[in-house]
Amino acid sequence: MNNINKNNSNDSILKIENLSKIYKSGKRSVQPLVGLDLEIVKGEFVSVMGPSGSGKTTLLNIVGCIDRATSGNVFLDGVDVARLSEDKLCKIRRDKIGFVFQSFNLVSYLSARENVELAMELAGKFKGQRKQRALEFLSLVGLSGRELHRPSRLSQGEQQRVAIARALVNDPAIVLADEPTGNLDVANKQEIIKLLLELNGERGVSVVMVTHDEGVASQTGRVLYLQDGKIVQDKQQKNSMIVS
């Protein structure tokens, strides 16, 4: 069933060919990904679902240049990241990928603005514009007036908004979100998915999101279901709607 997820567009942001990953521990080996093929075009919002152990996190880590494939090709914005050195992978992570984590991963002693500025500083981008750009992106995610607050003074939903601003501020080719609503209550969960959908629709941000939440996944344009390291279903949802 792996052939069902091939997209013939030439405008791909992510193209994966025959991707496999094997972890070995002594005589024991585990293969979380098995000959996986996938293409995602620019501007898509794709949810990735599946049971524990199906390969979701491994897939996200390989696409995010955190882990390496055992075999296969991974073209991110036209570059085969499976063949790059560690130094070049680090640069790809900084310049091409925005990460949004379940646990927010904000620096506790920095303000919201400083957390966003830090992403630009680490990437060596927008020197001289960092403060203003951080303020603009915090405004974009609805945090005007909260820029000087440290994470401890922000709600969980607000902390995730800071994380989204940080993920977007360097103009990445793709945003990878790992259970971004997993630590949120129902109201904040819906606000965050609504924000991501708006950013995707209005700014054309490409998003790949791992989630266990059927309600969250149902609102995105496409859902991939993984099982035993393979894509067993690729569901287009062109008429998906934001549920208020």
- The residue type at 162: V
Placement of tokens 């859902």 in the chain? 223
CA 206 to chain centre: 9
Apex 150 CA angle, 148 and 151, nearest 5: 135
Considering only CA atoms, which of 52, 43, 48 is closest in space to residue 63?
A: 48
pTM beyond 0.95, yes or no:
no
Residue 25, pLDDT score? 81
Residue 238, pLDDT score? 64
| Nearest-angstrom CA–CA distance, 33 and 223 | 18
| Nearest-angstrom CA–CA distance, 9 and 233 | 19
Report the share of the chain in percent with pLDDT over 90. 80
pLDDT tens digits, 15-55: 999 999 999 888 888 899 999 999 999 999 999 999 998 99
Q: Where are the alpha helices (DSSP H) in 64-152?
A: 86-96, 112-123, 130-140
pLDDT tens digits, 61-74: 999 999 999 999 99
